[in-house]
Structure 1
Amino acid sequence: MLAMAVAGACFGVTASPAAASPAAASPAQAAPSCPYPYVCFIKNDRIIGKFKDVTSDWQPLPSKPSAPLAVVNTRHDDVVRVRFTSGSVSCIPPKTTNHINGGQLNAVRISSSTRC
């Protein structure tokens, strides 16, 4: 489990609207909320890590979470970059959720840039 008190990103799983069923949970109930100004990592409907500091270097993710998971960037003006163990990098614009469907992450970096 990713447990961090450092700045960075949040992974979040957002629920898709369920078929019209009175017993189905609403998206707000099904997924945890990532608070501003964090970037959250969400897996299995649980926040497993969250970061908030802008850094010039990569911040390692000790648990190296694997897909499926989501990265939620609640920041208004900052992009988030996540690095996979393969070396590839994904950029997440402000106020965006990125669903990771494959691979394993090992680092995060919040940049003051407003665009990827």
Structure 2
Amino acid sequence: MTLAMAGGLSVAAQTAASASTSSAVRAAADTCSYPYVCIFKNGTRIGQFQDVTSGYQNLPSRPSGPNLTVQNTRNDDVAYVRLSSGSAICIAPKKAYTVNSGTLTGIRIDSRSTC
């Protein structure tokens, strides 16, 4: 799942950008093993989380996009990332989320299997 791209891109540009994002997500998944939820900035892992929690774990580094990917390698647990805007994004098991803009402030792993 990725944030919507800015309007005005040609179909070819959108396809190239999508392929680039997919490559980055695959590369991130290669370095984040089960049962972690990992955060990558420019392809470098900057954090990983494993514990199911009832509340958000604050992210003191407050990473921001672009080129920020959250990879959920868990088989049956969703992960929520909280943005500085106050909104939260749910990441399904074995999926990734790319942050094109915005700042992450927290993460929570939930034992539910669907968003």
Question: What is the TM-score of this pair, normalised by structure 1?
Answer: 0.74
Q: Tell me the equivalent position of 1:62.
A: 60
- What is the Cα deviation at residue 53 of structure 1? 0.2
The answer to whether the 8 Å contact 2:39/2:46 transfers is yes
Q: Tell me the equivalent position of 1:86.
A: 85
- Are 1:16 and 2:23 matched, yes or no? yes
Cα distance change of structure 1 residues 36 and 53 upon mapping to structure 2, 3 Å threshold: same
Letter in 2 for 1:16: S
Structure 2: stretches of 5+ with no match in the other structure: 1-20
Task: Calculate the aligned-residue CA RMSD, in Å.
Answer: 2.2
- What is the Cα deviation at residue 15 of structure 1? 5.7
- Are 1:98 and 2:97 matched, yes or no? yes
The answer to whether the 8 Å contact 2:29/2:71 transfers is no
Figure out how many residues of one structure are paired with residues of the other and give that number: 94
Structure 1: 4+ residue segments shifted above 6 A = none
* CA distance in structure 1 between the aligned counterparts of 2:59 and 2:65, rounded to whole angstroms: 14
- What is the Cα deviation at residue 31 of structure 1? 7.4
Equivalent pairs: percent with the same residue? 55
Structure 1: stretches of 5+ with no match in the other structure: 1-13, 18-26
Name the structure where helix makes up a greater proportion of residues: 2
- 1:89-108 CA distance string (max 9 Å, x none): 00000000111111000000
The answer to whether the 8 Å contact 1:15/1:31 transfers is no
Give the alignment partner of residue 43 of structure 2, picking from 42, 45, 57. Answer: 45
- 1:4-29 CA distance string (max 9 Å, x none): xxxxxxxxxx6628xxxxxxxxx65x
Question: What is the TM-score of this pair, normalised by structure 2?
Answer: 0.75
Q: Secondary structure at the match of 1:90?
A: strand
